[in-house]
Chains A and B, each alone.
Chain A
Amino acid sequence: MDSSDPAPSGEPDDRPTVPEQRTGQDAYLRVSDLRVRFDTEDGVVRAVDGVSFAVERGRTLGIVGESGSGKSVTSLAILGLHDPRRTTITGEISVGGRQVVGLGDEEVRRLRGRDMAMIFQDPLSALHPYYTVGRQIAEAYRVHHPKAGRREARKRAVDMLDRVGIPQPARRFDQYPHEFSGGMRQRAMIAMSLVNDPALLIADEPTTALDVTVQAQILDLLADLQAEFHSAIILITHDLGVVGQAADEVLVMYGGRAVEQGSVEQVLRSPQHPYTWGLLSSVPSLHGDADADLLPIRGNPPSLINLPPGCAFHPRCRYADRPGDRSRTEVPELRPAGSAGADGHLVACHLTAEERAALYAEDVASVGVAR
């Protein structure tokens, strides 16, 4: 994977095509038209507003977005972790063929941990400081294997610790979270999430709190485990580099909506949405001209309570307010990005494919996106 050459951008025909169209028919996780609303004192927060995607087993979907984009809310909805008293969830979430939306507490709990599991950003707050690491992993196992005895659960937990690369797992089993380093804690978290062989793993910023050399280890570990268990993975991150390394498909979220979706090659090599362009050109790279200015996105991410009308990105978009532009008034639909039609690359932007190709070639590629 050395393709530092920019793929020819703009021309829809030159875009690398995905092998088959991913309609989500045989996907393990299928989310359609998901909407999550919170009622707060300040008003209704539309944290997720009509998002659809699918993840097959053995594949990784990267969800990218900044704070308040709705990426974490989406994952909590899949896991059924929102408080039903304050949250309204509509749409469909199907995990292994079972509907999660509207399911009772007890039923979701049975799915959670066994069929789907979560890895959090901060393992220190996700692990209980009072119990040994091993006991917590064993307990996660026994919840879903009530017939398993203590010894069997312990053996299973030690096996998992070993599998995630923790040395001396039998000794580590009896240690407390504070005796683990940051990287080891994240490994222990991963061991705990995988102890029941879940088919779906949701990792919310799993490496953000880690150093780069440890991040590299954890991303490798996730890839190895995915190959072994054939799990579907959702990787939530703000780091496009991590997405480029670990994801097969990408969903870019902004203001609770999907603004761009496609394979990792499509989205990172020939990005179609001005927000994606902005993200790519604001990230400093280890290659290319170090003296060139970064091209930041102007303004700030919007507040979900007070989302701009029309395209939520329009106040920050360099291409809004062109003659005939509808972005202030009309929410752009998520449509196939290329004129070629259905290659799975979707974008929600009022600009036409031709306009985007021209703007990208003129403005964006020149300052170094996809260097």
Chain B
Amino acid sequence: MTDEPLLRVRGLTKHFPVRQGLRATGLVRAVDGLDFDVRPGETLGLVGESGCGKTTTGRMLVRLLEPTAGTIEFAGRDITHAGRRELRPLRQDLQIIFQDPYASLNPRHTVGRIVAMPLQVNGIKPPGGIKARVQELLELVGLNPEHYNRYPHEFSGGQRQRIGIARALALRPKLIVADEPVSALDVSIQAQVVNLLRDLQRDLGLAFVFIAHDLAVVRHFCQRVAVMYLGRIVEIGDRADIYERPQHPYTRALLSAIPDVTRLGPAGRIRLTGDVPTPLDPPSGCRFRTRCWKARDICATEEPALVPRDGGDQATACHFPEPAGAGLQAEAAVAVAEPAGRGAGANVEEVSP
């Protein structure tokens, strides 16, 4: 794993101005300084709850959104502010799969045309012709190549997602950003698509940035995982580190909140109080502190850096991380947070009159 990273992201930031009339009244700090690498053929999961900035990050990576600050290097080239023309050759290597299989396909185009579009736009003439290549792609994603002339509405949700995948594969990309590719699908269909993506990843040696809120799906797909909270990465590491030896309190809370079908009944779980604070006015210092049961004074004043704790690959942004090697077992004793007040307002106890 000493290859040059295929994707190198440094200080990636996206702030959206909030306007009332003509005046800018605030900034939504959707993504606030991300650093990560993706090596060729590697799968990185970006996980977190709504509003953590994972989708914004994905859109910046494929240049659908202009970053406010920071750099994105792809295959050694700085593409942070690349224009359409500069991007065109890169588009072949960098593709996206969207969440909504209904909204991301043009209903007036046949499947053949949808999948052929990237080839045509880039002026690529595959040997054997475009139609043969499209049919090959349809077959690759498990669709009947005879259905070339059908329209998206003739397909089910799972099949439509396969069409989106075929389109993303048309140019033989090196990296695919997949934004919640299975969350709109029925459970039995989800598994089909996850298996398909896994096979393609293995067979074609694709690198993935896999954006999802479902940690169990990510565990089945990704070798590395970055956990995001309010625009920051709070923990990043190999799958086994994140799922078996999480060091950040938020990662632990997130994992323990997932109802698992292999465990019946209410489990001894960590309960976070309140909701995620607004990214308009994120808490000072550590952004998780308003919901954290370990928060002390330093957490409000000093933002913890994302640093490896034990010389390994796992980095945690926390002043009081769990010791490396601590399992998830000893969780029963963790009390529910009595947090420091700011944020969603959900944590504030009412003072009785």
Contact = CB atoms under 8 A, between A and B. Distances in A.
B213 A211 contact: yes
A242 B259 contact: yes
Contact of A212 (B189, B192, B213, B266): B213
B275 A182 contact: yes
B260 A239 contact: no
Contacts of B189: 296, 300
Contact of A1 (B217, B263, B345): B263
Contacts of A280: 261
A208 to B, nearest CB: 10
Contact of A239 (B191, B259, B347): B259
B350 A285 contact: no
B264 A286 contact: no
B188 A279 contact: yes
A287 B260 contact: yes
A125 interface: no
Given A211-B213, A217-B271, A3 B264 contact: yes
A103 interface: no
Interface string B107-136: 000000000000000000000000000000
Nearest to B192: A296
Contacts of A122: none
Contacts of A212: 49, 213, 215, 254, 257-258
B156 interface: yes
B2 interface: no
Contacts of B272: 213, 216-217
Interface string B239-280: 100010000000001110111111111110101111110000
B69 interface: no
A57 to B, nearest CB: 20
A282 B260 contact: no
B271 A211 contact: no
A341 B273 CA distance: 46
A189 to B, nearest CB: 15
B261 A244 contact: yes
Interface residues of B, number: 52
Interface string A244-273: 111000000000000000001100110000
Interface residues of A, number: 61
A296 B191 contact: yes
A300 B190 CA distance: 11
Binding site secondary structure of chain B: loop
A58 interface: no
B349 interface: yes
B301 interface: no
A285 B266 contact: no
A168 B348 CA distance: 8
A296 B188 contact: yes
B188 A66 contact: yes
Contacts of B294: none
B194 interface: yes
Interface in A81-113: none
Contact of B346 (A184, A211, A241, A297): A184
A284 B257 contact: no
A285 B187 contact: no
B186 A241 contact: no
A67 B253 CA distance: 30
29 contacts: A1-B263, A3-B264, A212-B215, A212-B258, A213-B257, A213-B272, A216-B257, A217-B273, A239-B259, A241-B258, A242-B259, A244-B261, A244-B262, A245-B263, A245-B264, A245-B267, A268-B264, A279-B188, A283-B187, A283-B191, A284-B214, A286-B243, A286-B258, A290-B219, A290-B220, A294-B195, A294-B220, A296-B190, A371-B262
Name the 8 nearest CB pairs between A and B, nearest first.
Answer: A1-B265, A282-B191, A241-B259, A296-B191, A211-B49, A297-B188, A294-B191, A216-B257
Given A1-B266, A238-B186, A295-B191, 11 more contacts: A1-B263, A4-B263, A167-B345, A167-B348, A181-B346, A211-B50, A268-B264, A282-B187, A284-B216, A286-B216, A286-B258
